[in-house]
Amino acid sequence: MRVLVTGGCGFIGANLVPRLTAAGWQVRVLDNEIMGHRDHLGDFAGEFIAGDIRDPAALDVALDGVDVVVHLAADTRVIESIADPAFNFDVNVVGSFRLMEAMRARGIRRLVNASTGGAIIGDATPPVHEAMVPNPIAPYGATKLAVEGLCSAWSGSYGFSALSLRFANVYGPRSFHKGSVVAAFFRRIADGLPLIVHGDGEQVRDFVFVDDLCDGIMRGIDYERSGVLQLGSGVPVSVNALIAEMRSVVAPQVIEVEYLPARTGEIERTWCDVSRARAALGYAPDTSLASGLAQTWAWFQTRRAGN
């Protein structure tokens, strides 16, 4: 069986691709190398195609002989989506539409789509879950909701098996280039710089370790049903609590924190209920925050040492 991973050079892809290979999949990666790079895949022996999901010619090559697509390619930056919603829409919605149409033309009907939880639901009393009415407050969340709509429509109209997995805040090894909070904090700690927190630090998120998330994705490939499932840790953690755990991990190194005004478009409190994914997939995110941060920091140190 051959799987195409779009955006496979990104943080999640760089962790997922080796696991797919080890599980016996023939893996092909399509990535435009804007956010990720081919060398992030290390000794990947599968097929790599440099190209963009918005390019029909690249899609035609990438989809040849493929049985299932794991769609990770996206512009995932919330604040940047507010500054440039047209770009975010073009990559996420137009790109996904072209991918799904190219799949339909080739008779490929199995799609696992990377979506997002908090950004789609918007400001709501947590924990967020799949039955909540979406109310995105930034263009990024709106575009990911639109892609979920495409998945639903292609499932209903064209017989697709399209599963959208709503990711929480993912962290872990191979995230040096990622803009998310854990990676950004560890980069600044490694450089001896103060952490920058927008707001008072009491905003709450759901931090899920990348190995747990990849396990959920692989179970999603085998699930072969359409719909939406939430993947996270199910544990609410404030940014201040996150920093406290980081202090324990990097000790005796000292962490300074600088607090700045909160930013427009960011949700104050969100975490997710993963009970549906547990029931449907057997999903079991069991990596503690302390363990996950320790593994992530160890990887950052190894990368910094050039190993």
Return the closest-CA partner of residue 289 out of 196, 200, 169.
Answer: 169
User: Which residues are within 8 A (CB) of 72 and not within 5 positions of it... i.e. 6 or more apart?
Assistant: 5, 6, 7, 8, 10, 12, 13, 16, 114
**Dihedral angle sign, alpha carbons of residues 179, 185, 191, 197:** positive
Q: What are the DSSP E strand ranges found in 107-156?
A: 110-116
What does residue 92 show for φ and ψ, rounded to 5 degrees?
-80, -45
Q: Which of 140, 171, 223, 283 does the annotation list as catalytic?
A: 140
Instruction: Give residue for tokens 């927190």.
Output: 197
Beta partners for 100? none
What torsion do the CA atoms of 115, 230, 14, 235 make, to the nearest 10 degrees?
Answer: 130
How far is residue 226 CA from its own chain's centroid?
A: 19
Q: Which residue has the tokens 């512009």?
A: 75
In angstroms, what is the C-alpha Rg of the chain?
Answer: 19
Residue among 290, 210, 211 nearest 250 (CA): 290
| Cα separation values, 31 from 62, 98, 284, 301, Å | 10, 15, 29, 27
Q: Are 7 and 17 a contacting pair, CB within 8 Å?
A: no
Q: How far is it, in rounded angstroms, from Cα 236 to Cα 239?
A: 10
Active site residue 158: no
Enumerate the active-site residues: 140
